[in-house]
Chain A
Amino acid sequence: MATPARSATIPWDTAVELSGVWKVFSRVQRAERPSELLRSLVRPRVQEIHALRGIDLRVQKGEIVAYAGPNGAGKSTTVKLLAGLLTPDRGTVRALGMDPVHERRRYVGRIGVVFGQRTELWWDHPVWASFEWKRVVWDVPVERYDRMLDFARSVLGLEEFFNAPARELSLGQKMRAELGLALLHEPEILFLDEPTLGLDVLAKRNVLTFIKDLNREHQVTVMVTSHDMSDLEQLAGRIVMIHQGQIAFDGDFDRLRRGVADRRRLSIETETAGPAPDLPGASLVESSGARHEYVFDATRVKLTTLLEAAASQVNVRDVETHRAPIDDVIADIYEEWTRSGNSQRPSAATQ
């Protein structure tokens, strides 16, 4: 991993900088045995959970950064720190040259936050009423409000449900409204925590397109977390992966794939149905009639070698090859992390 150098002053093009950030939470452990109940009342067992362990991260203005990691890795904690909702135990958090906690009022006027599982919409009011509420509370100038509302309406298609009460919106419509609401004051940074959670394919595509348009047309810096890696790959040029409170990878998706293994899928269709040919270096995943599917690591085995091996055993009618989905790659990384234990970072993913 390329660790960003720390600096006393933040360059003008830096949107977000975390330097040596630690965040530790305490959790009281419940007594397991009845005999321990009384003792735990007097002296409770407290477990320390290290959500973040010395995170160093810098995000440039105008970047879209995917922030990923397994459950409990520290993603939401980072977003809360950057939104000014949490104070770091150690280290510094700066965004737009400000301390998100101590300069909260000024700072939150320049950022937008969307939590996929929370809503800023007024439940029993039409969507437009929430927008009006935001305009007044955020003190958005009328010109900016009109301009951003036009943009949100055109890109997010808010028109179809702008007059409907928020409680009657579908999940996809709700998220579109949340995104529109979040950018009304024209934030310079948008923090999105699981914005595609529970959305169907079409709604997801709309949301992803919108975020890309927003970044391109308004140069908004976007930091997005999601469990859906293909979403993140479509959206972001850079992925930061966090594992047990530490940054385990920081780079682009191609580098991430190469770091683990360049997993490919190979489908071979033979002239006649029969047993699958034996391809050294490739694992058979599925075989049905004349169609056989393998996975292989393109950094170790050449495709031509596999095809030659297949051609020497059967009459090949058609061949198809494609990269493994990013979700498989990430699943491999998580699996490796689990295997490599709690205290170690995986060598394959660490660049």
Chain B
Amino acid sequence: MRVLKLWRLYAWMDLTWILQDPITAVTYFISDLFVNLTLVVGALLLAERFDGIGSWSRDQVVFMLGYAILVRGIVDGIFGFNIAFISRRIGRGQLDHVLIQPQSFWLALLVDGFTPFSGLTATLPGLVLMVLAGQRLSIEVSPGWLGLFGANVLGSLGVILAFSFLWGSLAFWSPRGAEEISSSAMRMIDQLKPFPLDGVAPLLLGGLLTVVPAGFVAWYPVRALLGIAAPLPTGLVTPAAALGFLALTILVYRKGMRHYGYTGSQRYHSMGHRR
């Protein structure tokens, strides 16, 4: 399958980059690890200090933070080179590089940023936190649970990407003004994702599940995975939401692409689409 063939190529390039310049790679790993841990350390300290947050125990919070870091790690590992921060590529006129490749545009977006080894900086710590907390919580890992876990991880991934691409599409119409809008959108999600949202006022909660869907990045899926809410149908809400967000995003993005076809980009900056 072509996706696997291309993933293998990009994975190999990622690995050779790490091996040929280990000092740079180690520096990159350490700094990235700190960035990812910093994103959740506030919630971690709160959970430690108060032995949990709200109705969530400390271990449940740690599991949720592990899940959040894991999902972010997968985003970084599959959608590197500013694919996740798509407004940068659009705003900097770098989509042209994708358009001169003889393959589907969507396939290019799926493979062009595949950096599984660099992405390990967040994936591994996330997994470790989840396993440690999961042991303390005595989670029964059954095939059904694993299926639910996989579907929710994919769902959370879809929600994050959809949100970034939805806002990032603005760069089609305002390349300079919206160049950094995807990173702002991601930052907003990163800041809101580590907190359990139980007890939040319904209106605000609605906003956190639609306007800024940070609730789907960790809180909602983990409720189902930890049995805080009934695994079904709660566990299906995040994947379903992801499909909805992605459909809307594809609609807006395609509109943006059509606009790009007529206006092109009057700017060009080489930074960011190749390491």
Taking Cβ atoms with an 8 Å cutoff, the residues of A that contact B are: 25-26, 77, 80, 83-87, 89, 101, 104-106, 108-109, 113, 117-125, 129, 132-133, 136-139
A105–B103 touching, CB < 8 Å: yes
Kindly report which residue of chain B lies nearest to residue A106, judged by CB atoms: B102
Q: For the complex, give the distance between the alpha carbons of A85 and B257 in Å.
A: 11
A87–B262 touching, CB < 8 Å: yes
Given contacts A89-B262, A124-B275, contact A118 B270 (CB under 8 A): yes
Give which listed residue, B5, B264, B266, B268, contacts A136 with CB less than 8 A: B5
Q: For the complex, give the distance between the alpha carbons of A124 and B159 in Å.
A: 32
B100–A86 touching, CB < 8 Å: no
Give which listed residue, B99, B103, B261, B275, contacts A137 with CB less than 8 A: B103
A119–B270 touching, CB < 8 Å: yes
**B27 beta carbon closer than 8 Å to chain A:** no
B268–A118 touching, CB < 8 Å: yes
Interface flags, B77-121, vs A, CB<8A=1, else 0: 000000000000000000011011111100000000000000000
Interface flags, B11-36, vs A, CB<8A=1, else 0: 00100110001000000000000000
**B9 beta carbon closer than 8 Å to chain A:** yes
**B49 beta carbon closer than 8 Å to chain A:** no
Give which listed residue, B6, B97, B102, B268, contacts A109 with CB less than 8 A: B102
A137–B100 touching, CB < 8 Å: no
B17–A125 touching, CB < 8 Å: yes
* Residues in chain B near residue A85, CB distance under 8 A: 96, 99-100, 264
Give which listed residue, A86, A101, A124, contacts B21 with CB less than 8 A: A124
A125–B16 touching, CB < 8 Å: yes
Taking Cβ atoms with an 8 Å cutoff, the residues of B that contact A are: 5-6, 9, 13, 16-17, 21, 96-97, 99-104, 261-264, 266, 268, 270, 274-275
A136–B6 touching, CB < 8 Å: yes
Give which listed residue, B13, B100, B275, contacts A133 with CB less than 8 A: B13
Q: For the complex, give the distance between the alpha carbons of A138 and B275 in Å.
A: 20
Give which listed residue, B96, B101, B274, contacts A123 with CB less than 8 A: B274
Give which listed residue, B5, B21, B100, B268, contacts A108 with CB less than 8 A: B100
Q: For the complex, give the distance between the alpha carbons of A123 and B13 in Å.
A: 12
* Residues in chain A near residue B5, CB distance under 8 A: 136
* Residues in chain A near residue B270, CB distance under 8 A: 118-119
Q: For the complex, give the distance between the alpha carbons of A139 and B17 in Å.
A: 23
A105–B97 touching, CB < 8 Å: no
Q: For the complex, give the distance between the alpha carbons of A109 and B17 in Å.
A: 28
Give which listed residue, B13, B21, B104, contacts A129 with CB less than 8 A: B13
Kindly report which residue of chain B lies nearest to residue A132, judged by CB atoms: B9
A123–B264 touching, CB < 8 Å: no
Select the residue from A89, A113, A118, A121 with max chain B CB neighbours within 10 A.
A118
A86–B102 touching, CB < 8 Å: no
Kindly report which residue of chain A lies nearest to residue B9, judged by CB atoms: A136
* Residues in chain B near residue A119, CB distance under 8 A: 270, 274
Q: For the complex, give the distance between the alpha carbons of A105 and B9 in Å.
A: 20
* Residues in chain B near residue A136, CB distance under 8 A: 5-6, 9
Report A12 CB to chain B, min CB distance, Å: 23
Q: For the complex, give the distance between the alpha carbons of A131 and B6 in Å.
A: 14
Give which listed residue, B13, B101, B266, contacts A122 with CB less than 8 A: B13
Report B83 CB to chain A, min CB distance, Å: 15
Report B26 CB to chain A, min CB distance, Å: 15
Kindly report which residue of chain B lies nearest to residue A104, judged by CB atoms: B99
Q: For the complex, give the distance between the alpha carbons of A299 and B5 in Å.
A: 64
Given contacts A118-B268, A124-B21, contact A84 B99 (CB under 8 A): yes
Report B21 CB to chain A, min CB distance, Å: 7
**A-B residue pairs in contact (CB < 8 Å), sample of 25:** A25-B266, A77-B264, A83-B99, A85-B100, A86-B262, A86-B264, A89-B262, A105-B102, A105-B103, A109-B102, A118-B96, A118-B97, A118-B268, A119-B274, A121-B274, A124-B21, A124-B275, A125-B13, A133-B9, A133-B13, A137-B6, A137-B102, A138-B101, A138-B102, A139-B102
Question: Can you name 17 extra interface pairs (CB under 8 A) apart from A26-B263, A86-B262, A105-B103?
Answer: A25-B263, A77-B264, A80-B264, A83-B96, A83-B99, A83-B100, A105-B104, A108-B99, A108-B101, A108-B102, A113-B100, A118-B268, A123-B275, A124-B275, A136-B6, A137-B102, A139-B102
